[in-house]
Structure 1
Amino acid sequence: MPSRIVRIAATTVAGLALLTACSSGGGAAQPSTPESPSSAPSNASGPKVPAPLPTDALMNDPCSVLTADGATQVGLALPGTKDTNDLAGCSWRSSGNSVNSVGITVVPQNTSGISDIYAQKDAQAYFTPVSIDGYPGVFSAKTDLRPSGNCQLWVGVTDQLAVAATALISVGPNKNDPCSIAQKFANAMITQLKAQA
């Protein structure tokens, strides 16, 4: 197994441990690095994207995928904070309560896009396909943290690239349904990427 994939897996485990520790305490937590099935070969066929979306912004300036209108629709404050880990990503705080946040992580190591997520379906604690403005998505993670306000949504933006949107809702009414916030965010992101096409 290449050392980069091992590092990604280790980062994911460390991020989940941190997320679990932060969500049970009183401090503000950042969305963790998503659980990525990047170490497994893709042997499942997930749905194809209707048209590839531009990925330059996702890879080089991931915070630019949320416009002011999109932030208002989701209830997030601008600007986002670019992640400093090995993977491209950005996180945004809630405009109503800065403890809550949404983040994205781009995982180019999954070269089969959403199909890599489908390949790991049996290893997931939850797996619910969804359409995001016509693009394939799936709520999926190896550990089910939805009862504590954390939901992970993967969205295929090309057939070779999937993006994870993670909602971390620690307080407020959306804590009981963090997946709806992840889906609102993903819709805003897809709208912005379509505008860049």
Structure 2
Amino acid sequence: MRRSVVLLLAAAALVAGCSGTKSGTASTAPSSAPAESSGSAGAAPKVSNPLNTTAIDSDACAALSAAKLAELGYGEGEKRTTSRGPGCSLFAQDDRLNQVEVSSVTDASDGLEAVYAKRADDAYFEETQVSGYPAVYAEAIDGRPNGKCGLFVGVSDQRVVYILVQYDNGAGASAPCPVALKVGEAMIETLKEG
């Protein structure tokens, strides 16, 4: 009996000490979009120059100006509503199988803190910056080899913009995260212009 307990405790310690990687097929839903923070307070970097998000809090398609859409090769965005807040679908002009979803996450008021609080649930979590703003590449399922990449950009301490790239063709299909970065940079420039 004692040996069984010792073996059980050893197995539990081994499982707890392992950090696994999840694999599978990514969904189109922002599965690791922020929810209310439940711990790890203070983990996310602060946003030193918060941006005004009034326009995108009601219309996520306002995240990229017409000039930026044309520069990146996207048509006019298609508004949609998500469980997290307003969303916008952007389709590549030359291939509608290449798309980007932009969402202003209005269902949580703690910005990147909510993303950091869920990091243990993510298959990948890579801190970065987008034009000087704190950001995280993260998703519950790692679809990057299949043209899918999630990027959360902190535009204020209370607001995150979520960018999900879903590319089936071209360079973005094998390297989707650089596409997300370019969209994020264009979004920051648009918000700065007001």
Please give the TM-score of this superposition, normalised by the length of structure 2. Answer: 0.80
- Counterpart position of 1:191: 189
- Counterpart position of 1:139: 137
Contact 1:139 1:153 in 2 (8 A): yes
Contact 1:141 1:152 in 2 (8 A): yes
Contact 1:73 1:184 in 2 (8 A): no
Q: Give the residue type in structure 1 aligned to 2:73.
A: G
Contact 2:131 2:185 in 1 (8 A): yes
How is 1:31-50 mapped onto 2 (pairs within 5 angstroms)? 31-44=28-41, 45-50=43-48
The alignment status of 1:118 with 2:116, answered yes or no, reads yes
Deviation track 1:147-167 (CA, whole Å, cap 9, x = no partner) reads 111100000011011111011
Q: Tell me which stretches of 4 or more aligned residues in structure 1 moved more than 4 Å.
A: none
How is 1:7-22 mapped onto 2 (pairs within 5 angstroms)? 20=27
The one of 82, 85, 95 equivalent to 2:82 is: 85
Identity %: 33
Matches of 1:96 and 1:39, distance apart in 2: 38
Please, which moves more after superposition, 179-188 or 49-58? 49-58
How is 1:166-177 mapped onto 2 (pairs within 5 angstroms)? 166-177=164-175
Deviation track 1:26-53 (CA, whole Å, cap 9, x = no partner) reads xxxxx53452241542424201112111
- Counterpart position of 1:106: 104
Matches of 2:34 and 2:55, distance apart in 1: 23
Deviation track 1:94-141 (CA, whole Å, cap 9, x = no partner) reads 022111111111222222101211122222101111111111111001
Q: How many residues align?
A: 169
Q: Which has the larger radius of gyration?
A: 2
- 1:91 CA displacement: 1.0
Contact 2:154 2:160 in 1 (8 A): yes
Structure 1, unaligned runs of 5 or more: 1-17, 21-30
CA RMSD in angstroms comes to 2.0
- 1:93 CA displacement: 0.3
Please give the TM-score of this superposition, normalised by the length of structure 1. Answer: 0.79
Matches of 1:82 and 1:141, distance apart in 2: 23
